[in-house]
Amino acid sequence: MPADRPRLRRPDVPRAGPGIVHLGLGAFYRAHGAIYFAEAMQKSGGDWGIVGVSLVRPDQRDLLKPQDFAYTAVELGPDGERPQVISIINDVLVAPEDPRAVLEVMSARTTRIVTLTVTEKGYCHEPSSGRLNRDHPDIRHDLANPAAPKSTIGFLVRALERRRAEATRPFTVLCCDNLPENGRVVRGIVLEFARLINEGLATWIAAEVFFPSTMVDRIVPATKPEDIERLAERTGMLDLSPVMHEPFRQWVVEDDFVDGIRPDLGAVGVELVEDVTPFEHMKLRCLNGTHSSLAYLGYLAGHETISDTVADPVFAAFVRHLWSHEIVPVLHAPPGVDLAAYCNSLFERYANPAIRHRTWQIAMDGSQKLPQRILGTVAENLAVGRIPKGLVLAIAAWMRYVGGRDERGEPIDVRDPLAAELKALSDGADGPVRKVEALLGVGTIFPPDVAQHAGLRKALTDCYEGLVERGAREMTKDVTNA
């Protein structure tokens, strides 16, 4: 690490007043939403400074605080890198250290929007149904400890409860995670939690709080130590928390904010729409669905990154098959969008050699991602009498992956909230038939219409057996050669 370099500092420009609280201050938001908000302020003004909240660990606060919360966003293009310093974050709070401070800033009159990137597992819900998981330990804690919540939902509801009691207008809840109809899903979970506290509170939230749905898109690979070193050599400044991102970005937002108050997002390229659903279905299925499929199969086949995976002609043909034969045929295009052109642009993004997006990183939290990214498409194919063999193979690859051993018998570091349960189910079942049956029985992942479909169960079993006997690459080749 180039410790001799001076530490990055905030540019000498006026600091914007706080207007946004963000829960879950990870790399994606800092490479996407935060940049849009910064550009909107540069374009049209307003006090839209961000107070970030880390819900679990102090790492991000500890890295950013010595830099006065400035950081570098590095665009990774095929022709080189382009860094820019982002200085929209005013502070970072660590929720476990001081939950009351988080509630206070969320309750402040100046806070008009609360944005969220807490990943699918951060909503304490059941992905297959979209309902609140009332038995989740954080939810049970938050019901019993109103002044010191732990969960995203607990913080949202308790902060809104305070605002109602103080006759303060509510904030807009703006979810930026990859959930279908994310605003409506979060609204439903929030209302379910609020009803467990007070029916009057739930009624007020239902009437006064807006939850616009959004679609976010930008590939943001994990930052590696060599990225930090290379950036320090280039800029002469040491930034211990930069973010790397591809050139492409897209943000589609339903224009539905409390009292109509928001930054001038349209001025910086955000698509403000009445209904985001067709855009999010397109992205979740065409991008996220194929990303996860490539991640599990590519990892098992020994490919480290997505660009490495699609450089293999077998997987390049496979992902194009998914789009043309399994995903696009059951997808309704958003107004004015050519789905074939959209998928071609996705392939170009996947193939960008500057984006070292690891298959292992994308494979995380599959139990939360599969229902949104893949199973909806599978269900729609089944409804028209078609077994989507490529997506079935991807599900079988996930089943093999969560078993914890790769094709060489080496252990896999499975990161998933259900990792222990899934491994126990896999280990406790003998042979492909029983392993597939055991994993299909996880009701929080697989809805009954999918899990109980006889044709799907047989296809999954055949795919799982083929992965064990022949390997991921050979099985993937069969999908497009058949």
Q: Which two tokens stand for residue 36?
A: 């849009």
Partners of 75 in beta bridges = 82, 245
Do residues 266 and 285 lie in contact, with contact meaning Cβ atoms separated by under 8 Å? no
pLDDT of residue 2: 64
In this predicted structure, the answer to whether residue 1 has a pLDDT above a threshold of 90 is: no
> Distance (Å, rounded) from C-alpha 293 to C-alpha 119?
18
Do residues 435 and 468 lie in contact, with contact meaning Cβ atoms separated by under 8 Å? no
pLDDT band at 130 (very low <50, low <70, confident <90, very high): confident
> Distance (Å, rounded) from C-alpha 413 to C-alpha 423?
11
> Distance (Å, rounded) from C-alpha 136 to C-alpha 143?
11
Of 410, 414, 456, residue with least CA distance to 436: 456
pLDDT of residue 482: 52
Tracing tokens 């660590």 back to the chain, one arrives at: 94
277-320 pLDDT tens trace: 999 999 999 999 999 999 999 999 999 999 999 999 999 999 99
pLDDT of residue 13: 85
pLDDT of residue 320: 98
Mean pLDDT of 363-385: 95
When mean pLDDT is compared across 142-146, 179-183, 294-298, the lowest value belongs to 179-183
Q: Which two tokens stand for residue 268?
A: 């910086």
In this predicted structure, the answer to whether residue 377 has a pLDDT above a threshold of 90 is: yes
In this predicted structure, the answer to whether residue 121 has a pLDDT above a threshold of 60 is: yes
Do residues 325 and 390 lie in contact, with contact meaning Cβ atoms separated by under 8 Å? yes
104: Cβ contacts below 8 Å, ≥ 6 apart: none
User: Is 281-481 in the same CATH topology as 18-273?
Assistant: no
Mean pLDDT of 247-264: 98
- Bigger pLDDT: 4 or 85? 85
In this predicted structure, the answer to whether residue 156 has a pLDDT above a threshold of 90 is: yes
For 281-481, CATH number? 1.10.1040.10
Residue-range domain boundaries for the chain: 18-273, 281-481
What is the amino acid identity at position 266?
Answer: G
Mean pLDDT of 157-176: 98
Helices 313-321 and 289-300 pack at an angle, to 10 degrees, of 150
Exposure of 143 by Cβ count < 10 A (0-12 exposed, 13-18 middle, 19+ buried)?
middle
> Distance (Å, rounded) from C-alpha 245 to C-alpha 134?
36
Q: Which helix (H) or strand (E) holds 214?
A: strand 214-217
> Distance (Å, rounded) from C-alpha 344 to C-alpha 315?
15
**Other CB atoms within 10 Å distance of the CB of residue 12:** 6
Do residues 133 and 124 lie in contact, with contact meaning Cβ atoms separated by under 8 Å? yes
Domain 18-273, what fold? Rossmann fold (3.40.50)
What is the amino acid identity at position 105?
Answer: V
Question: How would you list the strands of the sheet with 49-54, edge to edge?
Answer: 89-94, 49-54, 18-23, 113-116, 172-175
> Distance (Å, rounded) from C-alpha 453 to C-alpha 441?
12
> Distance (Å, rounded) from C-alpha 71 to C-alpha 63?
10
Tracing tokens 């207008």 back to the chain, one arrives at: 169
What is the amino acid identity at position 76?
Answer: L
Of 172, 174, 202, residue with least CA distance to 189: 202
Of 55, 120, 156, 150, residue with least CA distance to 444: 120
pLDDT band at 174 (very low <50, low <70, confident <90, very high): very high
Do residues 42 and 13 lie in contact, with contact meaning Cβ atoms separated by under 8 Å? no
- Bigger pLDDT: 465 or 13? 465
Mean pLDDT of 64-90: 96
Percent of the chain with pLDDT strictly greater than 70: 99
In this predicted structure, the answer to whether residue 3 has a pLDDT above a threshold of 80 is: no
When mean pLDDT is compared across 177-181, 373-377, 417-421, the lowest value belongs to 177-181
What distances in angstroms separate CA 127 from CA 118, 178, 179, 468, one per listed residue? 14, 12, 9, 28
pTM, two decimals, is 0.88
pLDDT of residue 127: 84
Percent of the chain with pLDDT strictly greater than 90: 93
Q: Which two tokens stand for residue 463?
A: 């795919």
Q: Average pLDDT of the chain?
A: 96
pLDDT of residue 399: 98
CA angle (383 as vertex; 377, 386 as ends), nearest 5: 80
- Bigger pLDDT: 213 or 79? 213
Q: Which two tokens stand for residue 209?
A: 């709080």
> Distance (Å, rounded) from C-alpha 344 to C-alpha 316?
11
